[in-house]
Amino acid sequence: MAQRLQFLKRKRYAFPIGLLLIIGAGLAGLAALRNGGSGPGSAADSGDSGSAAAITSDVHFYGQSPPVYPSPNMTGVGPWADAFSKARALVANMTLSEKISLTGGTSSNTSCPGFVGAIPRLNFTGLCLADAGNGVRGTDFVSSWPSGIHVGASWNRALTHQRGQGMGGEFRTKGVNVLLGPVVGPAGRVVLSGRNWEGFSVDPYLAGALVFETVQAVQAVGVTTSTKHFIGNEQETNRNPSTSSGVTTEAVSSNIDDKTMHELYLWPFQDAVRAGTGTVMCSYNRVNNSYGCANSNLLNGLLKTELGFQGFVVTDWGAQHAGVATALAGLDMAMPNPDPFWGSHLAAAIGNGSVPESRLDDMVTRVIAAWYRMGQDKNYPAPGIGMASDLLKPHAIVDARNSTFRSTLLDGAIEGHVLVKNTRGALPLKTPRMLSLFGYSAKNPDHNSPSAIAWTFGAESFSVSDLLAGFMGPGTVGTVPVGINGTLYSGGGSGAPSQSLMVSPFDALVQQAYDDGTALFWDFTSAKPSVNPASDACLVFGNAFATEGSDRPAARDDFTDGLIRHVADQCNNTIVVLHNAGIRLVDQFVDHANVTALVFAHLPGEASGRALAALLYGRANPSGRLPYTVARNESDYPALNPDLPAGDFARFPQSNFSDGVLVDYRHFAARNITPRYEFGFGLSYTAFNYSNLSVEKASIPPPNSTTTTNTTQLFAPHPSGAVREGGPEDLYDTLVHISADVTNTGAVAGAEVAQLYVRLPSYAGVPQLRGFDKPFLNASQTAAVRFELTRRDLSVWDTAAQKWRLLPGRYAVAVGRSCRDTPLVGEVVIP
């Protein structure tokens, strides 16, 4: 759909011009909320109090997000120097009209959701911005890659990098200049958030490591990444403002204190900036009651000053709600078009002095510098050349698929499956005589056609009307928990890649059964199917669907759980496969004596069936690990559901992040809650032993350090280096070296995910992931795994100094198979 649906245009001011306090450059004003007890983040001022008159004006919230002005200019630091120089020269030759044309989208004869027009006289060819982080959407002849949650479950940096290369190459071939991804927001705080599947993990370290690889790989082939959604975009419900009967309800505000912001939600964005991401997308929601795309503290302060971000900030589609305010707050480009706030209005604001022309010059310099930085000025496909505006009309075929990456598609699909139960030798299967298959998620949907909006937004297995109910409005809680019409390759919404070819589990199992001479029976429609007790195994396939625009209604569903129990009552070897676009609880069936195996199959992309068959039959050894925690009960999570408008804040929905950094497994550890399956857990067909832990402090600056830090300075309380992309350069100095041996003690080859957890002095009872490695080991083989702990890894955010602080004391370190299974334990003492 042209321009990603025009309904996303909004005309709501969120930040009155009168509040634009110019308070100076640098880090002035970065002293954000010091604790979670101020403003609506406190219990005393919660949306449920009803103790005061209903809030009807934004004035109530003024000052909760500190103003940071002016917007810092791009500096061209590090690898941006040449691009910066070229961009400044080009911008110097532009007219005011030409410069303004680069700050917003325009229409085109392509299906690019965003398009920036060319300036022919200056040889600027324009930009195509296209969805998304899991593959190209809305076009033909592209691959459907494993989704973010699936990549997170692989715990594989190298494979993530390969995915980025292959996926980026397809965007380039299609003439896409800016890939609208990857996703590290939402982070996953709200368990039932509708877009968690697009991101890698609820853990900031794991998400940061994988977004780093993705950004570097995609941009290495010349495509700019737009890391999103910045920031606190943790629920879909009320993600946008809405008006009913003349009364406006603003977008939900994510109320996040300064320490939590840095140690959790900003962390993976920091890794993306350090990797060089060319653009960052600001989010729909408000943060501390200031809209994300008009929040000077976020854009000018955290992103452009503290992290040294060199690229440009683009809105999510329709997320601009003010004109002058957004320009001064650090926004650089409005999508899908500049109306109604910029365009001629921006020209007028520059003319009357409301916006300095130097701010416009910086906006455009950042856009052009990213274009130069990726080499898009030379031998790059024309913008949108492979993005036909109507796939049902004759059009030139641009086949972006590259056979070189078929193995990456398959390996990625395999490694994101997580085996969490395997009893009585249920798996791998050994040439069974009879298999019985049940469940709606085994087969392909009945349709795969560009003629349907369901195809465009990844809802072939779901109800498109249910998808659009949330997607076309302010965001809501969904009503349907599953994709009943077929298996899932991805979730729904703008992050869904187009399906040009896919292999379902049923497709692959039919082929396997044919090769083995296995009798195969199935029923994919009945809630209580007939079950042949003579079956060697019964496979039950279910799913948990999620989509942009709606939060999930539940973490389990009675229909699927009832189907599983019904089959298990009659089949003593019942294997369950769940394609889950988020956390799926399993306690209603997993302890059934006849449920012998359980696989979280996530969202594998087009190679789904081939990958599953390889795992079920032992041609591949499961090596996926959970990138989240599976609880026993919904009540075990600190934030299961989205926050809804309530009480005095009915017109200004509030989501108070009172859990701080204690999300997912950190919360379970701090509250001593035993999960069903912990973060980092996963089974293999072999076994691994850990030994020989070594923990050594660095005594000299590491070889990769760019500073002249001496040993004493290395352990100084605060970093003191110059700000580069990602923050102070010495924040990444290695302070501690850790190694351990991992031995495959089983009979078959396999990969093990060795995980390093650290307990910081200020969070003594809470493990935090700070390293992982994934060696592939033959039977009886031993390999050393090595981890380097940087200053950042060992620091906490000092809200008073507004710097990362290395605390003196004892740091417990542990290496093992998951956050709760760490056989090797040691410590390091920081003076």
Taking only the tens place, the pLDDT of each residue in 699-721 is 865 555 555 556 678 999 999 99
Residue 195: which residues within 8 A CB-CB, separation 6 or more? 183, 186, 233, 236, 491, 493, 495, 546, 548
Percent of the chain whose pLDDT exceeds 90:
89
Give the H/E segment covering residue 420. strand 418-422
Q: Using DSSP bridges, classify how beta strands 776-777 and 750-751 pair: parallel, antiparallel or unpaired.
A: antiparallel
Can 316 be counted among the known catalytic residues? yes
d(CA 645, CA 467): 22
- Annotated active-site residue in 45, 271, 316, 362: 316
Distances (CA, A) of 786 to 209, 210, 752, 756, 790: 15, 18, 14, 10, 13
812 forms beta bridges with 759, 827
The torsion defined by the Cα of 341, 347, 349 and 355, in degrees rounded to 10, comes to 100
Q: How far does CA 352 lie from the centroid of its chain?
A: 41
Read off the amino acid at residue 501.
L
6: confidence class by pLDDT, cuts 50, 70, 90: very low
Q: What does the pLDDT look like over 650-698, one tens digit per residue?
A: 999 999 999 999 999 999 999 999 999 999 999 999 999 999 999 999 9
d(CA 289, CA 260): 16
Residue 551 gets which letter from DSSP?
Answer: E
d(CA 653, CA 250): 7
User: Tokens 């039977």 map to which residue?
Assistant: 779
pLDDT of residue 708: 54
For 641, half-sphere exposure in the C-beta direction (CA atoms, 13 angstrom radius) is: 10
Read off the amino acid at residue 806.
L
Report the interhelical angle of 204-220 vs 157-173 (nearest 10°). Answer: 40
Residue 521: which residues within 8 A CB-CB, separation 6 or more? 434, 435, 436, 437, 532, 535
Average pLDDT over residues 757-767: 94
d(CA 25, CA 769): 35
Distances (CA, A) of 519 to 509, 512, 567, 595: 11, 11, 18, 21
pLDDT at 761 over 90: yes
pLDDT at 630 over 90: yes
Residue 524 gets which letter from DSSP?
Answer: S
Residue 18: which residues within 8 A CB-CB, separation 6 or more? none
Report the chain's mean pLDDT, rounded to a whole number: 92
- Shortest CA distance to 40 belongs to which of 648, 631, 574, 756? 648
d(CA 240, CA 389): 27
Residue 368: which residues within 8 A CB-CB, separation 6 or more? 86, 87, 90, 91, 102, 124
pLDDT at 451 over 80: yes
- The length of the chain is 831
Please answer whether residues 641 and 192 qualify as being in contact, where contact means their C-beta atoms are separated by less than 8 angstroms.
yes
